[in-house]
Amino acid sequence: MAKLGKRTRAARAAFEGKTDVTVEEAVALVKGNANAKFDETVEVALNLGVDPRHADQMVRGVVGLPNGTGKTVRVAVFARGPKADEATAAGADIVGAEDLMETVQSGKIEFDRCIATPDMMPIVGRLGKVLGPRNLMPNPKVGTVTMDVADAVKAAKGGEVQFKAEKAGVVHAGVGKVSFDEAQLVENIRAFVGAVSKAKPSGAKGTYMKRIAISSTMGPGVTVDVDNAVSE
């Protein structure tokens, strides 16, 4: 087993015995023990009591974080004509139609969010095997298949976060940077957890939110009291 460095050992020691703390306590711990040489992302992971293999237990949605993510989001838009011009004017990084499809098919994916106008979906649909596994497939349920491409681009650039339950019923997302102040991170975390709470599917039985953990990119995680996290 690889030897743990001093920083890692110190961080783990600081987290020892700390479980089911408040969101505020978790943020203070994570910020105080983020020692990487870069601005680490603060991440939230939620273990949900769902089986997303069943359609009535799928958890999916989108939330605008009040203080943004701190991440530069590159946005691609599938559109033609005036809608392509709107997307460009709104700040989209890549705009195209068949040409963009060919670029993606070649394996060149230089974007973090993909938006499409409805008439582009027959083209985008051919990219399902490429975009689907990367959670980049445009979907009307999260506002990425829309005629209002300008607003969709601005939302993506402004701190909007999409979420989707993975096979084990886990939902996770980056909700800011350790350089954010504690109040900003707490606000973002509560907004994210609140959105996932409201997205509870009709088929969910028993306990919906089982466990919530907060960590930084390189640091250990700390569990948060679920009732505290979902309270306003």
Tell me the pLDDT tens digit for each residue of 137-167.
999 989 999 999 999 999 999 989 999 999 8
- The Cα-based distances of 229 to 66, 88, 180, 197 in angstroms read 16, 38, 19, 10
| Cβ atoms of 115 and 76 closer than 8 Å | yes
Q: Which CATH architecture has domain 75-157?
A: 3-Layer(aba) Sandwich (3.40)
Beta bridge mates, 86: none
Higher pLDDT, 20 or 101: 101
To the nearest whole number, what is the mean pLDDT of the chain? 91
- The Cα-based distances of 43 to 89, 107, 209 in angstroms read 31, 28, 17
Residue 104 predicted with pLDDT over 70: yes
The whole-number pLDDT of residue 12 equals 63
Q: Which CATH architecture has domain 18-69+161-230?
A: 2-Layer Sandwich (3.30)
pLDDT tens track for 13-54: 666 657 889 999 999 999 988 888 999 999 999 999 999 999
The whole-number pLDDT of residue 6 equals 63
Task: Give the model's confidence band at 7: pLDDT under 50 very low, under 70 low, under 90 confident, else very high.
Answer: low
Tokens representing residue 180 in the block: 């954010």
Beta bridge mates, 60: 164
The whole-number pLDDT of residue 230 equals 86
Residue 185 predicted with pLDDT over 80: yes
The whole-number pLDDT of residue 161 equals 92
Q: What is the CA radius of gyration of the chain?
A: 19
What amino acid occupies position 192?
A: F
The whole-number pLDDT of residue 144 equals 95
The CA-based angle 12-16-195, given to 5 degrees, is 90
Using a pLDDT cut of 70, give the percent of the chain over it. 92
| Cβ atoms of 69 and 175 closer than 8 Å | yes
End-to-end Cα spacing for the chain: 43
Residues whose CB falls within 8 Å of the CB of residue 160, separated by 6 or more in sequence, listed in order = 62, 63, 64, 65
The whole-number pLDDT of residue 1 equals 44
Tokens 């250990």 label which residue?
220
> How are strands ordered across the β-sheet holding 222-224?
170-177, 41-48, 209-216, 222-224
Beta bridge mates, 76: 94, 114
Q: Where in the chain is the domain with CATH 3.40.50.790?
A: 75-157
As a whole number of angstroms, the distance between CA 69 and CA 74 comes to 13
pLDDT tens track for 200-210: 999 998 999 99
Residue 115 predicted with pLDDT over 60: yes
Tokens 């023990």 label which residue?
33
φ, ψ of residue 82 in degrees (nearest 5): -60, -35
Q: Where in the chain is the domain with CATH 3.30.190.20?
A: 18-69+161-230
- Cα dihedral across residues 109, 53, 46, 9: positive or negative: negative
Burial category of 76 from C-beta neighbours within 10 Å (exposed 0-12, middle 13-18, buried 19 and up): buried
Residue 190 exposure: Cα atoms within 13 Å on the Cβ side: 17
